[in-house]
């Protein structure tokens, strides 16, 4: 049951990363996620090309989380390590994308705690 819940969570988490792609590429405009060319709460200007590259990183995370959801569902060997790397990368991207991506910070911390705790408790 835990495996199914985790696979579902990873799928939804992956879909949530799409916002980081569609806004910088101006595919979607949203008041709560305005287009901008800065990272770290406006402290780092990366320009239009830079923010599009960041958007591609978010898209990569989307695809990777969706694939990993499948790996968890199918109990592929090595999935915990892959998800740990993805959650760590997602945490870094959430910090870079703050304040717009600030919700990802606690979500990724909880995910990492669950993965490390699950490993310590021999759940995986």
Residue 107 has pLDDT above 80, yes or no: yes
pLDDT of residue 30: 81
For the chain, domain boundaries: 2-120
Closest CA to 6 of 80, 81, 60: 80
Closest CA to 101 of 29, 9, 44, 18: 18
pLDDT class of 5 with cuts at 50, 70, 90: very high
Q: How much is the average pLDDT of 115-122?
A: 86
Q: What is the pLDDT of residues 11-41, one digit of tens each?
A: 999 999 999 999 999 999 888 888 999 999 9
| Of 48 and 124, the one with more pLDDT | 48
pLDDT of residue 1: 78
Distance CA 37, CA 82 (A): 30
| Of 89 and 124, the one with more pLDDT | 89
pLDDT of residue 41: 94
């Amino acid at each position: 049951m835990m495996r199914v819940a985790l696979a579902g969570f990873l799928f939804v988490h992956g879909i949530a990363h799409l916002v980081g792609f569609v806004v910088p590429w101006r595919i979607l405009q949203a008041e709560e996620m305005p287009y901008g060319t800065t990272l770290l709460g406006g402290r780092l200007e990366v320009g239009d090309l830079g923010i599009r590259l960041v958007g591609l990183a978010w898209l990569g995370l989307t695809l990777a989380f969706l694939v990993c959801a499948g790996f968890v569902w199918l109990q592929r060997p090595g999935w915990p390590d892959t998800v740990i790397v993805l959650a760590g990368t997602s945490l870094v991207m959430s910090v870079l994308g703050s304040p717009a991506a600030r919700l990802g910070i606690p979500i990724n911390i909880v995910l990492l705690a669950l993965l490390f705790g699950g490993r310590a408790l021999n759940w995986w």
